[in-house]
Amino acid sequence: MRNSILVVEDYAELRDLVTEILRRNGYEVCQAGNGAEGVALLRRNCGRLGLVLTDAAMPGMCGHALADQIRAGQIRGARADLKIILMTASHETVVERNGLTLLRKPFTEDELIARVREALDGS
């Protein structure tokens, strides 16, 4: 469970790259192309996920809205204190408020793995 990660990213190439790196580093990964798909996968996995790695800006349900739903305990089966990393190109200030970890785009492979380890080790 601790090594299972949900990657939510609308840009397919980036989603696949991130997934490939995480799998290469021993993590189990499932993918979603937007927030709504992410919610569906969270419901289906019922507590088996240790981390959600989501893009901030996506069409439809964005990463912020997905994080808000998780924190509010509105997704059946997903813990409200689930670790969440928000991938963003912006200088976000809102993330600390929701207890999210921030990963600034563009990032490197090392930065990605370091953030994921930090988030999972803190749980």
Residue 107 C-beta: closest distance to another protein, Å: 6
Which one of 2, 28, 36, 107 is in contact with another protein (CB under 8 A)?
A: 107
**Among residue numbers 36 through 75, which ones bind another protein (CB under 8 A)?**
56-57, 59, 64
Cβ–Cβ < 8 Å for 42, 77: yes
At 11, the amino acid letter reads Y
**Among residue numbers 1 through 40, which ones bind another protein (CB under 8 A)?**
10-11, 13-14, 17-18, 21
Report if residue 110 touches another protein, rule: CB under 8 A. Answer: yes
Cβ–Cβ < 8 Å for 104, 90: no
CA distance readout (Å), 24 to 2, 19, 67, 82, 87:
16, 8, 26, 23, 20
Listed residue (84, 82, 100) closest to 92, CA to CA:
100
| Nearest to another protein of 14, 36 (CB atom) | 14
Which residues are near another protein by CB under 8 A? 10-11, 13-14, 17-18, 21, 56-57, 59, 64, 89-94, 97, 105-112
